[in-house]
A and B are shown apart, each in its own frame.
Chain A
Amino acid sequence: MMVPEALALSALLFCIGVVGVLTRRNAIIIFMCVELMLNAVNLSFVAFSRLYGATGQVFVVFVMTVAAAEAAVGLAIIISIFRHRQTVDLSNINLLKG
């Protein structure tokens, strides 16, 4: 059934996404890393749906919808931050820093 292999692949992709979020400073690339993490979780949903029936696939559909909504709103936020500060480098966006 290849389920453990798929779970290992999903864990690897998720951790690559986490490392990307931690190392990059470009807001757009960090956003794409979050998308990669969502994809990794989708993969483990699909893997488990092989064992426990199709409900896991329904969850993947929901995750994809939320990811689409999140991408639209998040990118709009990034655009409006860029209008104010002329940068998407997160180390320059420090308005809330104490």
Chain B
Amino acid sequence: MPNFFYQLHFYLFGLIAIASALTFVTRKSPVAAALWLVTTMFSLAAIYVMMDAHFLGAIQVLVYAGAIMVVFLFVVMLLNLGHPDELSDLHGKWGRLAAGLVGLALLAQIMTLARTQFPVSFMQTEQAAAENLRDLNAVGVIAKPLFRDNLLAFELTSLLLLVAIVGAVLLGKRRTQA
């Protein structure tokens, strides 16, 4: 049973994440939306740390809130879309209603799935997890399965990143008139 302060902070960060995600989808201005999304990502990073995934918490802040959102903000700045009030961004009333219904139905489905009994046979005990974390420290816990069991996938990821870099440069390049 986790202690009271743990639970309090878990719910606090969860509430911040949900509230800022809701604000994020309702903002008209892309810059405001991006900054609210950064808030969501920061509180998710806090939750990762609380769930013993310390390295992922750091990576979440560095990669998601740092790198990816900066790329988004750069693109918003580059496109110069004009004043947000002039953009009719949302779909009409019926579109929004239908989207809300679809969202609620999906939420009900996922919640039902989350209530199913988890298989117990592969489950590791809390004590074994804590010992593993203590022996290997926060980075080693990920590094061991990443570089031993998933080495091929890791190498393929580098190829994916290379393709993405080349593709982004090619797509973003201005065509010179021949």
Contact = CB atoms under 8 A, between A and B. Distances in A.
Interface of A: 1-9, 11-20, 22-26, 28-29, 31-33, 35-36, 39, 42-43, 46-47, 49-55, 57-58, 60-62, 64-73, 75-80, 82-83, 88-89
B89 A25 contact: yes
A67 B2 contact: no
Given A12-B18, A65-B160, A77-B171, A28 B142 contact: no
Contact of B171 (A13, A47, A60, A80): A80
B150 A52 contact: no
Contacts of A72: 71, 164-165, 167-168
Contact of A76 (B104, B122, B168): B168
A60 B175 CA distance: 37
Contacts, number: 223
A79 B74 CA distance: 11
Contacts of B172: 76, 79-80
Nearest to A7: B114
A28 B157 contact: no
Contact of A46 (B53, B88, B100, B106): B53
A29 B89 contact: yes
30 contacts: A1-B126, A2-B50, A9-B14, A12-B18, A16-B18, A16-B103, A26-B30, A32-B72, A39-B44, A46-B47, A49-B53, A51-B118, A52-B122, A52-B124, A54-B145, A57-B141, A58-B142, A58-B145, A58-B146, A58-B150, A61-B56, A69-B160, A71-B71, A72-B164, A72-B165, A72-B167, A76-B168, A88-B81, A89-B87, A89-B88
